[in-house]
Every structure is written in structure tokens, then in C-alpha cells.
Amino acid sequence: MLSPTSQQLVIQKVEQCFDYANERFNQHFDLPKISFKQRGKVAGSARLQSNELRFNPILLQDNLDIFINEVVPHEVCHLLAHQLYGRVKPHGQEWQALMIDLFAVTPKTHHNMDIQKVAGEVFRYYCQCGTLELSIRRHNKITRGKQNYICRKCHSVLKIAS
């Protein structure tokens, strides 16, 4: 269960990031809507069109310092890049520059948090170079005949392990 204190600290950090951006760019950025409804292995996400930030409450509760120091600036920079530059690559040079120049945070595209509590059921698949695990979502797409997945290394179609 996510504590109200953790939520409040994230909200305060978002506000601090926007205050700092307003000052540095000498313009006003609207504060985003903030929710703690992000699910799965993702720590946070930025909804550009609706100006919303979503944070994963389970990962947040176990990794408060990482959220405050890395995840919040990461997601805020997505919104700022969109508002400053329009349509750009999600982790492109504009976003990276904001991470470094504005918040002095190393731009990383993935987190290293323990995802044991949020990892869903996985299914073993194989290709020419070995076995790997797919999420239930990908597994269901394959079983319904809506999708095939190809190994990035050997380029063969993944098959379910028996």
C-alpha cells in the first residue's frame, strides 16, 4: 500500500521540477495531472497530449529515493520536451539535454529496480539461439494468431516451449 507521504513527496518533486523549468526557461509550464495508477514493470509514464504523469505505486513504495532523484525528472522531461519542441523522439537529444542540463540527471531509458512484486505471469519461448520469457500479453497475442515475435539476434520466429 502506497503511503500518503510517498505520494506527497513525488507531487512536491514534480512541482519543484516545474518551478525550476519555469525559472530556467522564463516561461510558464502548466503542472500536469499526477496519478499513481501505472501498472506493470514500468516505473512511470508521461501522457503528452493530456499533460499527465503516472507513477507505479508498488515500485514507488520500495524505491522512493530512485523515484525522487531519477523517475520524476525523467517523466517531467518528457512533458517539457513535448511542450518546448513538439513531436520529438521519446528519449532523443532534446529529452537527453533536458535531463542533463536542467536536472543534472544521467539520461537512462530503463530502470534497474527489483520488479519481482510487479512481474506478471511469463511463458517460455524458444528460438534458434535459446529460450526467453514473454509476458502474458504477448503470449495471448501469439495464441490468438494476432502476432508473431522474432528474435532480435537470430531473426527466427519465437515458438512456445513445451
Q: Which DSSP string do the residues of 69-110 spell out, in sequence order?
A: IIIHHHHHHHHHHHHHHSS--TTSHHHHHIIIIIH-----SS
Fold of 4-103: Zincin-like (3.30.2010)
Residues of the chain with CATH 3.30.2010.10: 4-103
Over residues 79-112, the pLDDT tens digits come to 999 999 999 999 999 999 999 999 999 999 998 8
In whole angstroms, what is the distance from residue 140 CA to residue 94 CA?
Answer: 36
**Would you state the pLDDT for residue 91?**
97
The pTM of the full predicted model, rounded to 2 decimals, is 0.78
Catalytic positions, written as ranges: 75
Task: Output phi, psi for 51, to 5 deg.
Answer: 50, 60
pLDDT for 62 equals 92
- Measure CA 9 to chain center: 19
